[in-house]
Each structure stands twice: as structure tokens, then as C-alpha cells.
């Protein structure tokens, strides 16, 4: 597809890199010539220097033949204006990054009136991810498929777990839980495991399970789904505000430590159910006084990555809380992954992932369509949800008789709302949605997974 990206910041650059890798025709627009050169010097993309809201600039970039326009500048209003003009100039789909919380309540009106196909709020996406993990603390990451009926969860096998030295094919009979292990991280190695794969303590595993089955599975492998009753947050930014709103009126207590007095007053007004502390959250005496030793969850969400890293490392030493660390830089991923920082929240990467998922879903192919896409294991594995639209050669044949490509796994079948965690006797039928986990990127059709 022909995709026009307006804004060459970190998100725009990450989008251009990923979409270029997937073979799309990419054009980037930015007011700054230096930003354009940084992108076109490293990627096989075209660049236009100018205002993305200008009709003439959009014409120069080829808006008439563009399939999707993505506006990710630092201005919400400019992003919306770019999408509006693009819709008037062509029939392309439009995506806008809109961060101001004042627009949240009227986002449906904005999308309808401006013809925007998709809007994305990085801080809200981060808060929703954090809220999902607070619901099931034993998980490191949770994604949803089949309209929320199926979850893809990541966890670490604890020491002395029954999974230690167990072959994957024996998990169902030993735990009596319907789950499927679809990826294993062991050090720097990543496996899409076969049935005879032997698990070990400290492996990080990604599993596919129905939402109601995951807590029972975690309990049986030695990860009891303890209930989080209080959350301590350092940094009163938008993610903290969304978390406070998310848990308002529940049995979860949210405590936000913020050193800016004016921001504390805003939060107090907006979040009457949350406890707002006016103090310097980087002062360990403040953290101890406010109860870091006994909190169930701790989130370092300041605007400085270095502060967040130090706060999370300190929290790991002081308590057994579920740790969340906000990181905004896209570099040094390998170093950060080796640190004990709990769950990494990167709003920019989340934004890029959600947009790429939408782009992939818009790619229609002959027999199937990618409806959902998730990046897993540091972007080294993809989980995709395909819809089977036609009577292809693999339809109706037991999975054990089909030869899938190496490092590719059929993870789940959704048949008219009935969720099937498949075994070798199950088949794929027309109308099914099928979840595929693979290390092969750029798959557009379900046919591509078979040899």
C-alpha cells in the first residue's frame, strides 16, 4: 500500500521503518529538512519537506493515490487538520494521534465529522495496558483477541514450578487447563515450541488462553493471581490521571506523588477517589513514608527515563510489588531488557504498534484478512488474527496433516464465538478467525503459513 506519514519524530520514524520493512510504499512529510534527511538516509522511503496540512504539499506527496495517511506530529490540532484535508483531497483512510484528554469524550464526534478512520492516544493506551496487568498481576504482558474472549499472556516460570522440565504436550493433562504455549524466551533465544519442547524454570512463556482459564493456570504453575489493592505512582502525568480514573469507585486505592503543586491541584479536582501527595517522589524518605514497602503495585511515570529506571530499581529492592516503568526512548532496548524494571511502558512504541496493527488489518488478501496484529518478545515474534474468507486448500483438513512453516504455530480458532485451543485433530473452516504465532514477518494470507 501507499502510505503517507506526517511527522518524523520518534513515532513517525518507527512507523516508517516497520512499514518500509513490510514492503509498503512510504512517503514522509515534515517541516524540518533535517528530520526528513535522517529518515531517507537510512530507509528506502521518499521525503517531502513542508507543512503536512497544506493541500499543495499533500499533492506533491501524491495524496490522490495514497491508501492511508498517518498524522503523528506533536500537535493534535495539526494532526486532525491533516486528516481533514487528506479526506477532502482523496479517498484514503486517515489516522491521527490525539493526546489531549479534553478530546477523549468527543472522540467519536471528531472521527465522524472529520472522517478520521482511527485515533490513537499514547498515554491512554499505556494506562489501559497497565490496568490489564493490574487485573492479573502474575502476567508480564496481556493482549486480547477475538473481541476480548481470548488472551495472549506472558509470564515467567517460577522456581520449583510443575512446568520445570515438563514437555509442552503434557501441560494440558498435568494442569487440566486449556492453554497453549506459543512462544518461549530463554536468555537471548526465542522458540516457537513443538510438543516435545522441554520447559525450564525462569523461561518466559507466552500462552494463549480464554480469559476465564488464565488465573487457574497461573495458580497451578506457582503464580497465584494475587489481588492488587493499592497502587503507588510517582509522576502525575496523563498516564497517572487515566489510571486514577480507571480505578475510581473500585476497591483499588491509587496514590499519586507529584512535586508540581499546580498539577496536584488539578489531579485532586479531577480524581476525588485518588490520594494526591505533593512531594518529590525521587526522595526515598518520601517513598518510605508513603508506604512503598507494603504497596501492591509501583509505577515510575515521571518525564525522565533515568529517574524512572532508578525509582523502579529502588522499588524492586524495597518491596514485592508489581513494577511498571515508563521509558520513552526507543534506543538501548537490549540494556533495558536486562534490568529488573518490571513491565516497561513505552507510549511511543505502543502508538506505533497500534497503528501498524490497523494498517495490516486494512491489507485485504485473496482468501484471508489480518484482523489483529501484535508484536511480541521485543518485536521478534508476531501474533496475527486472520479471517478465513474462502474455501482454500487447507480448509477442513486436520491440522496434524498440514505442514506449517518452521517457527509457526496455529494458536487458536474462533468459530462463531466458540473458542477452540486446537490440537492435531481440529480443522480450519470458512468463516473462522485463526490466531497464528510466528517469527516470519509480513504474512498477508493464511496460505503463507503452510509449506
pLDDT digits (tens, 9 = 90+) for 71-80: 999 999 999 9
- Assign 376 a pLDDT band (cuts: 50, 70, 90): confident
Share of the chain above pLDDT 90, in %: 47
Residue 89 has pLDDT above 60, yes or no: yes
- Assign 56 a pLDDT band (cuts: 50, 70, 90): very high
Please answer whether residues 270 and 242 qualify as being in contact, where contact means their C-beta atoms are separated by less than 8 angstroms: no
How many alpha carbons fall within 13 Å on the CB side of residue 446?
Answer: 30
Please answer whether residues 387 and 393 qualify as being in contact, where contact means their C-beta atoms are separated by less than 8 angstroms: no
pLDDT in tens, 427-447: 999 888 888 888 877 677 788
Of 77 and 341, the structure prediction assigns the larger pLDDT to: 77
What is d(CA 301, CA 299) in angstroms, rounded to the nearest whole number? 6
Residues in the chain: 451
Nearest partner of 5 among 55, 47, 60, 54, judged by Cα: 47
pLDDT in tens, 312-328: 999 999 888 899 999 98
- Assign 3 a pLDDT band (cuts: 50, 70, 90): very high
pLDDT in tens, 142-178: 887 776 778 888 888 988 899 999 999 899 888 888 8
The DSSP 8-state label assigned to residue 271 in this structure reads: -
Of 364 and 67, the structure prediction assigns the larger pLDDT to: 67
C-alpha cell at 10: 520518534
Residue 351 burial class via C-beta count within 10 angstroms: exposed 0-12, middle 13-18, buried 19 and up = buried
Residue 334 has pLDDT above 70, yes or no: no
Q: What angle do CA 126, 129, 132 make, to 5 degrees?
A: 150
Segment among 13-22, 215-224, 302-311, 357-366 with least mean pLDDT: 357-366
Q: Looking at residues 13-23, what average pLDDT do you find?
A: 87
Of 406 and 332, the structure prediction assigns the larger pLDDT to: 406
The pLDDT, as a whole number, for residue 73 is: 95
The pLDDT, as a whole number, for residue 366 is: 36
Domains and CATH numbers, the chain: 2-120 (3.40.50.720), 127-220 (3.30.70.1450), 232-324 (3.40.50.720), 351-449 (3.30.70.1450)
What is the rounded average pLDDT for all residues in the chain?
A: 88
Q: Looking at residues 253-277, what average pLDDT do you find?
A: 95
What is d(CA 340, CA 337) in angstroms, rounded to the nearest whole number? 8
Residue 365 has pLDDT above 50, yes or no: no
Nearest partner of 180 among 425, 429, 432, 409, judged by Cα: 409
C-alpha cell at 444: 498477508
Q: Looking at residues 11-38, what average pLDDT do you find?
A: 91
**Which H/E stretch holds residue 322?**
strand 322-326
Beta strands in 187-300 (DSSP E): 189-191, 204-210, 230-234, 253-258, 275-278, 297-300
Q: Looking at residues 39-61, what average pLDDT do you find?
A: 93
Q: Looking at residues 19-31, what average pLDDT do you find?
A: 91
Residue 367 has pLDDT above 50, yes or no: no
Q: Looking at residues 135-146, what average pLDDT do you find?
A: 80
Q: Looking at residues 36-55, what average pLDDT do you find?
A: 93
- Assign 358 a pLDDT band (cuts: 50, 70, 90): confident
Of 142 and 302, the structure prediction assigns the larger pLDDT to: 302
- Give the position of cell 462463531: 416
**Which H/E stretch holds residue 25?**
strand 25-30
- Assign 239 a pLDDT band (cuts: 50, 70, 90): very high
Please answer whether residues 232 and 293 qualify as being in contact, where contact means their C-beta atoms are separated by less than 8 angstroms: no
The pLDDT, as a whole number, for residue 378 is: 65
Q: What angle do CA 106, 111, 117 make, to 5 degrees?
A: 145
What secondary structure does DSSP assign to 117-165, as a single string?
Answer: SEEE-HHHHHHHHHHHHHHSTT-SEEEEEGGGTEEEEEEEPPTT-TTTT
The DSSP 8-state label assigned to residue 329 in this structure reads: -
Q: Looking at residues 60-83, what average pLDDT do you find?
A: 95
The pLDDT, as a whole number, for residue 32 is: 93
Residue 279 has pLDDT above 70, yes or no: yes
The DSSP 8-state label assigned to residue 64 in this structure reads: G
The pLDDT, as a whole number, for residue 297 is: 94
**Which H/E stretch holds residue 263?**
helix 261-270
Amino acid at each position: 500500500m501507499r502510505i503517507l506519514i506526517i511527522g518524523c519524530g520518534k513515532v513517525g520514524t518507527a512507523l516508517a521503518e516497520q512499514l518500509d520493512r513490510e514492503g509498503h510504499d512510504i512517503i514522509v512529510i515534515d517541516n524540518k529538512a533535517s528530520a526528513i534527511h535522517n529518515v531517507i538516509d537510512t530507509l528506502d522511503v521518499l521525503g517531502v519537506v513542508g507543512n503536512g496540512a497544506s493541500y499543495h504539499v499533500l499533492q506533491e506527496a501524491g495524496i490522490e493515490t495514497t491508501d492511508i495517511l498517518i498524522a503523528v506530529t506533536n500537535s493534535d490540532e495539526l494532526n486532525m487538520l491533516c486528516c481533514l484535508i487528506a479526506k477532502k483531497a482523496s479517498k484514503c483512510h486517515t489516522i491521527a494521534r490525539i493526546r489531549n484528554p479534553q478530546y477523549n469524550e468527543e472522540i467519536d464526534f471528531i472521527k465522524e465529522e472529520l472522517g478520521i478512520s482511527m485515533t490513537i492516544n499514547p498515554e491512554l493506551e499505556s494506562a489501559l495496558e497497565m490496568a490489564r496487568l493490574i487485573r492479573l498481576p502474575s502476567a508480564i504482558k496481556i493482549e486480547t483477541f477475538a473481541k476480548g474472549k481470548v488472551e495472549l499472556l506472558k509470564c515467567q516460570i517460577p522456581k520449583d514450578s510443575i512446568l520445570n522440565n515438563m514437555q509442552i504436550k503434557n501441560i494440558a493433562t498435568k494442569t487440566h487447563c486449556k492453554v497453549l504455549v506459543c512462544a518461549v524466551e530463554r536468555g537471548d533465544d526465542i522458540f516457537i515450541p513443538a510438543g516435545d519442547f522441554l520447559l525450564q524454570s525462569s523461561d518466559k512463556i507466552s500462552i494463549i488462553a480464554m480469559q476465564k482459564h488464565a488465573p487457574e493456570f497461573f495458580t497451578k504453575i506457582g503464580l497465584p493471581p494475587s489481588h492488587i489493592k493499592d497502587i503507588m505512582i510517582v509522576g502525575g502525568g496523563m498516564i497517572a490521571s487515566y489510571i486514577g480514573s480507571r480505578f475510581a469507585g473500585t476497591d483499588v486505592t491509587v496514590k499519586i506523588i507529584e512535586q508540581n503543586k499546580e498539577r496536584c491541584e488539578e489531579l485532586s479536582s479531577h480524581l476525588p477517589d485518588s490520594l494526591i501527595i505533593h512531594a518529590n517522589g525521587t526522595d526515598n524518605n518520601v517513598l518510605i513514608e508513603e508506604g512503598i514497602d507494603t504497596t501492591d503495585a509501583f509505577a515510575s511515570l515521571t518525564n525522565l527515563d533515568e529517574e524512572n529506571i532508578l525509582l523502579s530499581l529502588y522499588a524492586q529492592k524495597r518491596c514485592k510489588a508489581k513494577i511498571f516503568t515508563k521509558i520513552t526512548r526507543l534506543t538501548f532496548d537490549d540494556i533495558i531488557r536486562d534490568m529488573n524494571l518490571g513491565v516497561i511502558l513505552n507510549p511511543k512504541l505502543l502508538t506505533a504498534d497500534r497503528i501498524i496493527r490497523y494498517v495490516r488489518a486494512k491489507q485485504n488478501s485473496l482468501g484471508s484478512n489480518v484482523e489483529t496484529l501484535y508484536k511480541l518478545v521485543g518485536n521478534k515474534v508476531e501474533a496475527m488474527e486472520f479471517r478465513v474468507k474462502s474455501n482454500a486448500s487447507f480448509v477442513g483438513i486436520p491440522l496434524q496433516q498440514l505442514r506449517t512453516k518452521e517457527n509457526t504455530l496455529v494458536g487458536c480458532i474462533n468459530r462463531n464465538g466458540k473458542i477452540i485451543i486446537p490440537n492435531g485433530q481440529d480443522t480450519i473452516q470458512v468463516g473462522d478467525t485463526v490466531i497464528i504465532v510466528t517469527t516470519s514477518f509480513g504474512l498477508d494470507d493464511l496460505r503463507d503459513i503452510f509449506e
